[in-house]
A and B are shown apart, each in its own frame.
Chain A
């Protein structure tokens, strides 16, 4: 009977699961991360729980780096963050072929059937993370805190963290992922840390507009050249799903195409 592996949705948890698959010769059909709480298990599959084990995760990381290199490990991580259903099986298929070692060129061949879907997923995830660097909008909250709310399609908060840590190291700020209900907290004295916030009303209430919000909205309107208006291009560059958290798009109604 094939197995359905449940793990704690983290990358380390997934790596621990892969480690167990190898060490116990498991026959795996699918993975169920803990975030899919409502998922109904397959009737013909047996559930198998794997707890995260830092040591086995780091051993597997080392193995991937030795076989394929740093950038492949990063690519797998980025693809994993897409949270796409079934991405775990794709990564597992890649790792199986990588560790089998039949093809010495396999590790870096982007066009292979195992690598290409992961490459594309990682590309989308990194694309969203890159775009989001500019699209996080902070509001000033009482207590000299800057608060921001994002709703990215992929789980990119940890990918954008270093950027904001370097840029605003002397400020206190929070970025809250409303879809995944967790936040990144940085205060000017210490390091950033990740906090889970199931109820974030206190945080979202702190997002207020002030005079600079108004100035920014004014600026946004007056910088556009009317003769060159192009709603289609705007939507391509700035997808509508980001608008709800962008200060400058709040006062503008959706232009009809």
Chain B
């Protein structure tokens, strides 16, 4: 099997890993070496599903010994198996990097043999890249649950970021879908890295290693098991707080296996739900929201029609409308439609001038939603009232009107009520009875693309 074939198999096997960021690490190119790391992260291209590609995302091997229900590489699937040699991975990485195709390497692997043996192979590749080839680019290394601490430590010295996937948002579902896995084995490496990062992060001396500069991330599948959004957000808030993760990824379940424990193969991936979860995640990471503000036991799921920030604002009319001239930065951030950039622009320029509607428009602040939640000098004081029940329908996107087909074979009829046709006296000729099926079909809810 040549490299090209292997690359096809092993990149297709890695595509369900969502994480492809290259941010959070600053490293200048090593002397006589190749590559550096840019803290903002750089996207190099976007695949046809609209996801950013910044790393060469591959598995070292897809010959897995586990049999997890949701995974495309599980033992019981009849798919071509392949394994890269370390040299092949290194050559691919360096050559792609020199052509500026990628920002670095994302290396993962199926569990082949023992977790320790797998982890050792992964670490070997990364170590060789860093020490022999003086590679300074970004490296994201998967850590294998059950690997020894010695190997994990070595991984932390050479990789920029590492991740262990929690896979399913509750332990009960995980042991049901993946009998060989449990939460303890996932948490062990995560906690180990979190502790080492605290240990090395306090005071950087000359000999303190630059341990995992870009931190850790994890990923969970959404829509394969019955967890609520509140459970998912609680879990991810815990990761951010306790394990100090940089990112939690949600992956809307794409049915890859026919399995009675999982949704049917024809199920569409829950892209809109995934999008809303990411919005909620952004609220926690950049907008200073707490997970129990976004959802609570009474509202366990995110509203698919409304973004979570607008949902929060409508549940809390007491904070609105917000006076942009005097409100805190944190409060301006909470106005639906105003993002970090606009909020900063407002705060920095309101010291010098009054923020009027016209100023906002010129700044490029998107007022489509924000206009209902703010007041500014141009609104008379008497109208500064906020009625959530009036604003909610305005925020909901109007459903798309459907274009009727001119040449449709079915006759255009008004929707009929079958009950009335049944009650018609039998003296009416049967040809006059309006067919119950015909009518104008309702427009389908418009699915938003997930970012």
Contacts and interface: CB of A to CB of B under 8 A. Distances in A.
A255 B50 CA distance: 13
B84 interface: no
Contacts of B379: none
B29 A255 contact: no
A166 B274 CA distance: 38
A222 B36 contact: no
A169 B269 CA distance: 44
Nearest to A231: B48
B4 A220 contact: no
Given A170-B33, A223-B53, A255-B48, A137 B254 contact: no
Interface stretch (B92-100, B112-120, B158-166, B329-337): B92-100
Nearest to B349: A111
A105 interface: yes
B45 A222 contact: no
Given A224-B49, A238-B45, A111 B36 contact: no
Nearest to A116: B362
Contact of B349 (A109, A167, A226, A228): A109
A112 B103 CA distance: 39
A134 B353 contact: no
Contacts, number: 161
Nearest to A249: B45
B219 to A, nearest CB: 14
A26 interface: no
A170 B28 CA distance: 13
Contacts of B450: 228
A139 B99 CA distance: 6
A30 to B, nearest CB: 24
Contacts of B43: 131, 134, 237
Contact of B99 (A116, A131, A135, A146): A146
A146 B355 CA distance: 50
Most buried by A among B15, B28, B36, B98: B98
A111 B352 contact: yes
Interface string A233-257: 1101110000000111100100100
A20 interface: no
B36 A233 contact: no
A234 B46 contact: yes
Contacts of B268: 227
A255 B219 CA distance: 30
B79 to A, nearest CB: 13
Contacts of A131: 43
Interface in B5-46: 7-8, 11-12, 14-16, 28-29, 32-36, 38, 40, 42-46
Given A134-B100, A140-B99, A109 B47 contact: no
Contact of A225 (B3, B16, B95, B98): B16
Contacts of B57: 223
Please indicate which of the listed interface residues B8, B35, B38, B49 has the most CB atoms of chain A within 10 Å of its own CB. B49
B47 A220 contact: yes
Contacts of A140: 98-99
B5 to A, nearest CB: 9
A220 B53 contact: yes
| Interface footprint category on B | 35 or more
Contacts of A225: 15-16, 49, 51, 254
A215 interface: yes
B48 A252 contact: yes
Of B42, B48, B51, B56, most A-chain CB atoms within 10 Å: B48
Dominant secondary structure at the A interface: helix
Nearest to A115: B349
A105 B352 contact: yes
B451 interface: yes
Interface in A119-160: 120, 130-131, 133-140, 146, 148
A215 to B, nearest CB: 6
A99 interface: no
B185 interface: no
A218 B8 contact: yes
A83 interface: no
B166 to A, nearest CB: 20
Given A108-B352, A137-B101, A247-B101, A222 B50 contact: no
B99 A137 contact: yes
B449 interface: yes
Interface string B318-350: 000000000000000000000000000100110
B99 A216 contact: yes
23 contacts: A106-B352, A108-B348, A120-B364, A134-B43, A134-B45, A134-B100, A138-B100, A167-B29, A168-B35, A169-B29, A170-B33, A213-B99, A215-B92, A218-B8, A219-B7, A223-B15, A224-B48, A224-B49, A228-B51, A228-B269, A230-B49, A232-B449, A248-B45
Closest 9 pairs between A and B when the two form their complex, measured CB to CB: A233-B50, A111-B349, A109-B352, A134-B44, A224-B47, A228-B49, A230-B50, A105-B352, A237-B46
Given A146-B99, A247-B101, 10 more contacts: A109-B352, A110-B345, A134-B45, A212-B95, A216-B101, A219-B56, A225-B16, A227-B269, A234-B46, A247-B99
Interface of A: 105-106, 108-112, 116, 120, 130-131, 133-140, 146, 148, 163, 166-171, 212-216, 218-220, 222-234, 236-238, 246-249, 252, 255
Interface of B: 3-4, 7-8, 11-12, 14-16, 28-29, 32-36, 38, 40, 42-54, 56-57, 92, 95-96, 98-101, 103, 252, 254, 268-269, 271, 345, 348-349, 351-353, 355, 359, 362-364, 449-451
